[in-house]
Amino acid sequence: MKNLLSAGQLSGAQAVEILDIAEGMADVNDREIKKLPTLRGKTVVNLFFEDSTRTRISFELAEKRLSADVINFTAKGSSVSKGESLKDTAQTLEAMGADAVVIRHSASGAANVLANSGWINGSIINAGDGTHEHPTQALLDAYTMRKRIHGSASMGKTLEGVKVAIVGDILHSRVARSNLLLLNTLGADVHFVAPPTLLPSDSSNFDAKLHYSLDEMLLKEQPDVVMMLRIQTERMNASFFPTEREYARYWGFNAQRLGQLKKSAILMHPGPMNRGLEIDAVSADSAQSTVLEQVANGVSVRMAVLYTLLSGERNANAS
Ligand code: ASP
């Protein structure tokens, strides 16, 4: 595998292998000296055209823990048109000998453009492209679910039969799309819960059950996992719900809904959270919330992805 562009490109075996490698990386992250020499001599560029806290820091830490040389390029606010600036920047990075580029861009398809352009020979990792995909988020979410459900017996496991409810701004969410693809591959039972205005209008081409009432779904389905999505106001060009107060009341996760979850169920959020809108403080900080675990697991999973894409290439060259 050279690039990671979509969660949908992974077979079940490939996805489980990345999650298993991440288990090993998590052990490294628990050690006093959290470092492996795996990517020594490799250059990884973090090319961020859009804001990010968790993802950027997490990739940087993952790269450093694998001993790569890391360049951070934040291109936000560039006045050059997007296509042009991407090409110019890519060619500059190629001239510097980048072995991998981690790209985040507000345009859907930006990572694919870079991978198929021929401007760069190194690996491309999609760290979020517009409303399209965010494959490493899906992998860290799957890792988090597997760990909470199977604990120390997680190795080799899929998410067969796990019932996952993804709630909220599905329409604008690359997290929802990548999660859907990976969860389908891993055998989970996916449910989308949102007001009709925040669901894609054509549901025939995705494999998830649709619900319009959060309370009804929680009661009827008793999900193992509830994943709350951020309301993405920056991607909304119209009004999708009457008021924030109303959204919080019908679609937000709160203490009362937390009480309806089964005790073993987990509550996820990819961050950044709009506290008081899609999730309240009591739920976000509860023992069932995995928000901070997701952040910690993100480092191990991204180490596993970098290892899979970059050390394979080294082994192949050596043989
Ligand atoms: N951090 C995630 C993303 O970049 C989720 C979000 O922003 O709502 O897509």
- Tens-binned pLDDT, residue by residue, of the chain (319 aa): 999 999 999 999 999 999 999 999 999 999 999 999 999 999 999 999 888 889 999 999 999 999 999 999 887 655 444 555 788 888 988 999 999 999 999 999 999 999 999 999 999 999 999 999 999 999 999 999 999 999 999 999 999 999 999 999 999 999 999 999 999 999 999 999 999 999 988 888 889 999 999 999 999 999 999 999 999 888 776 678 888 999 999 999 999 999 999 999 999 999 999 999 999 999 999 999 999 999 999 999 999 999 999 986 544 444 3
Report yes or no on 313 lying in a domain: yes
Pocket of ligand 1 (CB under 6 A): 55, 128, 134, 174-175, 230, 232, 270-271
Domain that holds residue 115: 7-133+295-318
Report yes or no on 156 lying in a domain: yes
Q: Are 272 and 309 members of one domain?
A: no
* Pocket-testing residue among 106, 129, 137, ligand 1, by greatest number of atoms within 8 A of Cβ: 137
Q: Are 210 and 221 members of one domain?
A: yes
Q: Are 251 and 213 members of one domain?
A: yes
Q: Are 281 and 161 members of one domain?
A: yes
Tell how far the Cα of 269 is from the centroid of ligand 1, in angstroms.
9
Q: Are 63 and 169 members of one domain?
A: no
Q: Are 84 and 159 members of one domain?
A: no
Tell how far the Cα of 214 is from the centroid of ligand 1, in angstroms.
21
Q: Are 57 and 160 members of one domain?
A: no
Report yes or no on 171 lying in a domain: yes
- Distant-in-sequence, close-in-space partners of 284: CB < 8 Å, separation ≥ 6: 267, 269, 273, 275, 291
Report yes or no on 300 lying in a domain: yes
Q: Are 47 and 27 members of one domain?
A: yes
Q: Are 139 and 247 members of one domain?
A: yes
Report yes or no on 157 lying in a domain: yes
The structure's pTM equals: 0.94
Report yes or no on 168 lying in a domain: yes
The CATH number of whichever domain residue 181 belongs to comes to: 3.40.50.1370
Report yes or no on 1 lying in a domain: no
Report yes or no on 2 lying in a domain: no
Q: Are 197 and 313 members of one domain?
A: no
Q: Are 118 and 17 members of one domain?
A: yes
Q: Are 31 and 81 members of one domain?
A: yes
- Residue 233 confidence (pLDDT): 81
- Count up the domains in the chain and report the number: 2
